[in-house]
Amino acid sequence: MTQLLASASVESVAPGAVPTPPRRGRLRRRGRLIAIAFVLPALAVNLLVIGGPTVSSIIYSFTDWNGITVPEFVGLDNWVRLLGDDTFWNALGHNFIYLLIFLTAPMAMGLVGAFMLSRIRRGAALFRVLFFIPYLLVSVINAQIWRNLLDPELGIASVLRGMGIHWLDDVYFFADKDLALYSVAFVDNWHFWGFLVVLFLAAMQGIDASQYEAARIDGANAWQEFRHVVLPGIRPTLTFALTIIAIGALLVYDYPFILTAGGPAGSSDVASLLVNRTAFVSREAGYASTMALALSLLGGVFLIFFNILRRREEEN
Amino acid sequence: MSALTAIRARRERSVERPPGGLGRTPVSYAVLVILGLFAFLPVLVLLFNSLKTSLELGTNPLGPPSSLDFSNFVEAWTRGSMARGLGNSAILVAGTILGTWLCAGSAAYALARLDLPFKRGVETYLFVIISLPVQMFIVPLFFLWVRLGLINTLFGLIVIYVALNTPFSVLLLRTFLVGIPRELDEAARLDGANELQVATRVILPLSWPGFLTVGLVSGLGAYSELMFAVTFLLDPAQMPGATSFLQFSQGFTQLYNLVNAAGVIIVLPLIILFLLMQRRFIAGLATGGTKG
């Protein structure tokens, strides 16, 4: 503040002159106007894209609206419909399966990968790059890689067949309604876990070296060291990882969209796909807003839950 | 100054981290090799198959190619209209980076160094916006974009990307700008520098790592983003590389040599950039890393 005043006075007031109180007030106002002007572009873009549509989304969730004509207020009709909508609950159920998968496989792989990386010296940088590449690649390419590998005629199945193993003959990973959801989650996991390695590794490197030494003097083996030094040491990062996994699983869109589009017969449908289909294909924008709002509220519940978890940790 | 020494101290400590103990490392290496193969072999197959002829693909579906055949790349480039797709991607990436720098940079400057009223309010708004899921606003936004004539335009998509990137970028850049000691700009002003010179000659050179990270994260996001790109751009002439690749791959299923070649072209810029500036990439993605 004082420095801004100083700079303004360099321009407008002769050096050494003491500004009178009203003049100081005007300068202060000018400084504030400049500051507001600096924030204006960011604020305008945000209100246009995020703030405004968020508020109207809440309003539209109580209307019957096709996106073009004037919305018609219908009270709680959309919410009542949502409660009895099997398509929605089917999709949301898949989000929770997705969540369970992501809370286990990538978490375990990320923790193991990071712990092993923290224990070696030579080659650590190389492994880190290898693990990270799938996270870096574009989702459409990752999907293409696994469409190729899991192709019943031109993928792993045909290599096994050449070796006389017929386990994967006629297994259509993305077209079988019992496998589609898990196959999609698998590809998404393959893309994601390397990010957790990098995240956990950074946290593990922040643990005080004396704690490791103390554990070693006590004769701890690798598992005990992991259990009693590493896990407690990276707890805030674990909570952070759980948060982004929970939100990510609730809102997942990319891999189901690319690989199965929710099919076959809704067996890999997820909530975000359904929201966009309802809004942009069926043109039921009002009802889609209701779905989206329900989804966002659930996401909010997750955020609050993990926030409480984090606070409790900080208190300990 | 103190921030710098703190960073340096942390870096030194991480270099001196405890060695693994000799007897334990073979197990670590074994696990790491398995995980490394799991991560990388599939990517290698993408590359292998992009170099095969259709004939070889049938007899040798996953192994290394018997000869290097680059004709797939030529064919994918023309049949997949990749010049157009990557051109659109370049516009999207450049527009998003510049827009984010401008919006987030100026807002962060005001928050960190100017006398902005309602500072706390602006910061709270940013935190709320960051935790909003896109589903919360995508439906009304689509129909707003239809009405404003921004649908099917790269400019409309750039505005969305800038809005999505700005909140976290403001918070990131603010920490960089707050860390610069005020004595520096006061000294520059005493030497007769005006406000613009202070911003560009003193502040910018000291905060460029923050701007680089913001540019990297938002540019990478614009290059790979899917949901808004497939929803808001329906005309193939406007599609960026990633979404036109998706169309191409759905039109040529099982022609893995051809489609994989297109895929290699799409990821090549990413891989090169990553290998050139690995550390910043990882730091940047860890900062903005909420992508599922």
B130 and B214 both lie in a single domain = yes
Whether residue B7 is contained in a domain is answered as no
B99: CATH: 1.10.3720.10
**Residue B106 sits in which domain range?**
73-287
B123 and B217 both lie in a single domain = yes
Nearest CA in chain A to B220: A136
B22 DSSP β-pair partners? none
Contact criterion met (CB < 8 Å) for A36 and B110: yes
* Residue B199 or residue A277, greater confidence: A277
Q: What is the mean pLDDT of residues B116-122?
A: 87
Give the gap in angstroms from C-alpha A315 to the nearest C-alpha of chain B: 22
pLDDT of residue B193: 81
B217 and B233 both lie in a single domain = yes
B56 and B176 both lie in a single domain = no
B92 and B122 both lie in a single domain = yes
Q: Roughly how many angstroms between the first and final C-alpha of chain A, as a whole number? A: 39
Q: What is the DSSP letter of B201?
A: I
Cα dihedral A48→A50→A52→A57 (10° resolution):
140
B262 and B121 both lie in a single domain = yes
Residue B170 has which token pair?
């403001």
B36 and B98 both lie in a single domain = no
- Could you tell me what percent of chain A has a pLDDT over 90? 59
3-state secondary structure of B24: helix
B290 pLDDT band (50/70/90 cuts)?
very low
B242 and B184 both lie in a single domain = yes
Whether residue B275 is contained in a domain is answered as yes
B85 and B171 both lie in a single domain = yes
Among B45-49, B120-124, B199-203, B205-209, which is the least confidently predicted range? Answer: B199-203
pLDDT digits (tens, 9 = 90+) for A187-232: 999 999 999 999 999 889 888 888 888 888 888 888 888 999 999 9
Whether residue B39 is contained in a domain is answered as yes
pLDDT of residue A9: 34
Contact criterion met (CB < 8 Å) for A137 and B39: no
Backbone phi and psi for residue B129, each to the nearest 5 degrees, phi listed first: -60, -40
- Domain definitions of chain A by residue range: 2-60, 80-315
CA distance linking residue A299 with residue A302, whole number of Å: 5
Report whether A262 contacts A256 (CB < 8 A).
yes
Residues of chain A with pLDDT under 70: 1-24
B43 and B171 both lie in a single domain = no
pLDDT of residue B175: 86
CB contacts < 8 A, A to B, total: 315
Whether residue B4 is contained in a domain is answered as no
| Last-in-domain residue among B34, B69, B104 | B69
Query: Is CATH 3.30.70.360 correct for A80-315?
Result: no
Query: Best mutation site among B10, B17, B32 for testing chain A: the one with the most A CBs within 10 Å?
Result: B32
pLDDT digits (tens, 9 = 90+) for B12-26: 444 444 444 444 578
B44 and B122 both lie in a single domain = no
Whether residue B276 is contained in a domain is answered as yes
B207 and B168 both lie in a single domain = yes
- Could you tell me what percent of chain A has a pLDDT over 70? 92
Whether residue B15 is contained in a domain is answered as no
Could you list the beta-strand ranges (E) of chain B: none
A64 DSSP β-pair partners? A72
- Could you tell me what percent of chain B has a pLDDT over 90? 49
Whether residue B11 is contained in a domain is answered as no
Backbone phi and psi for residue B94, each to the nearest 5 degrees, phi listed first: -65, -45
* Residue B216 or residue B3, greater confidence: B216
Given a cut of 60, whether residue B163 has pLDDT beyond it is: yes
Residue B225 has which token pair?
């983003």
B204 DSSP β-pair partners? none
In this prediction the ipTM stands at 0.86
Contact criterion met (CB < 8 Å) for B282 and A198: yes
The residue count of chain B comes to 292
Count of domains observed in chain B: 2
